[in-house]
């Protein structure tokens, strides 16, 4: 199943229409206990993501696999491709594209907004998709997007593979001073995996994301390094994801 969707980016005075690509859905093969949105990396799409997830031994999860808007990407010399937000070279002091981070996070939340009340919801992703998943985790903890609009979901699990954390420098300011924000941060389980031979998103960015999230109050954070793994996924890593999700979401159909 797939469908197209568009969204209005929020927070700007003249909201521009953002066209998201097709969303692909993998239905649960067993009892529906959880729904995960899974986000692809730069230049990829929801179709290839759904094919990968279909083979996981998680029959009680429904997977929603959206496709990012197509936009010119600075890191690719302005070449247009699917991207959740605009980005240049990764750096510790590079600017964050708050408008598109919020627009994509709102689109992702909207995809989960109609799930049944007894179904646990979460977000995961690879590379730029992992960055969006981690950004969504910070919005959940803060209780609002970067533009101040309220964040609507009760996230139960977040997974980031080969990614980084956008907005890391301002994260503690969003959460410190709010007991509710600290409580949400402390209760949200996060799994991050990263290959130590990743040449596209260097391993140090995965480490720094974990350090930043931990210092902001995220307590249930697991970081799994993978020796000699580059910027791609392997069955061993996806097995780690499957067993972690099964444990934290309390799934009864893991095999």
Q: Which residues are annotated as catalytic?
A: 127, 198, 231
Is 97 exposed, middle or buried, given 0-12, 13-18 or 19+ CB atoms closer than 10 A?
buried
Please state, in angstroms and rounded to a whole number, the distance separating the CA atoms of residues 70 and 79.
10
Closest CA to 175 of 142, 144, 149, 207: 142
Closest CA to 242 of 8, 55, 9: 55
Rama region for 97: left / alpha / beta (φ>0; ψ in -120 to 50; rest): beta
Helix axes 128-142, 179-187, angle to 10 degrees: 140
Contact 68, 82 (CB under 8 A): yes
Please state, in angstroms and rounded to a whole number, the distance separating the CA atoms of residues 214 and 109.
24
Say which residues have a Cβ less than 8 Å from residue 51's Cβ, sequence separation at least 6.
none
Hey, what are 214's tokens?
């931990």
Hey, what are 235's tokens?
């069955």
Count CB-CB contacts under 10 A for residue 239.
12
Please state, in angstroms and rounded to a whole number, the distance separating the CA atoms of residues 157 and 135.
13
Q: Rg of the Cα trace of the chain?
A: 17
């Amino acid at each position: 199943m797939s469908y197209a969707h568009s969204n209005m980016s929020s927070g700007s005075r003249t909201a521009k229409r953002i066209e998201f690509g097709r969303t692909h859905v993998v239905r649960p093969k067993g009892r529906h206990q959880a729904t995960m949105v899974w986000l692809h990396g730069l230049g990829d799409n929801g179709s290839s993501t759904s094919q990968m997830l279909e083979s996981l031994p998680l029959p009680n999860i429904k997977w929603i696999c959206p496709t990012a808007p197509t936009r010119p990407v600075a890191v690719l010399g302005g070449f247009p491709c699917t991207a959740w937000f605009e980005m240049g070279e990764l750096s510790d002091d590079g600017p964050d594209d708050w408008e598109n981070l919020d627009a994509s996070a709102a689109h992702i939340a909207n995809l989960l907004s109609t799930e049944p009340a007894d179904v646990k919801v979460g977000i995961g992703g690879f590379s730029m998709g992992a960055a969006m998943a981690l950004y969504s985790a910070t919005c959940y903890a803060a209780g609002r997007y970067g533009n101040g609009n309220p964040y609507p979901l009760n996230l139960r699990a977040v997974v980031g593979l080969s990614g980084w954390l956008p907005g890391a420098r301002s994260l503690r300011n969003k959460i410190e001073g709010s007991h509710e924000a600290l409580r949400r941060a402390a209760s949200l389980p996060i799994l991050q995996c990263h290959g130590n031979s990743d040449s596209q998103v260097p391993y140090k960015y995965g480490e720094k994301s974990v350090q930043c999230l931990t210092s902001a109050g995220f307590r249930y954070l697991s970081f799994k390094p993978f020796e000699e793994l580059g910027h791609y996924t392997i069955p061993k890593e996806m097995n780690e994801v499957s067993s972690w999700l099964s444990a934290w979401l309390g799934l009864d159909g893991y095999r």
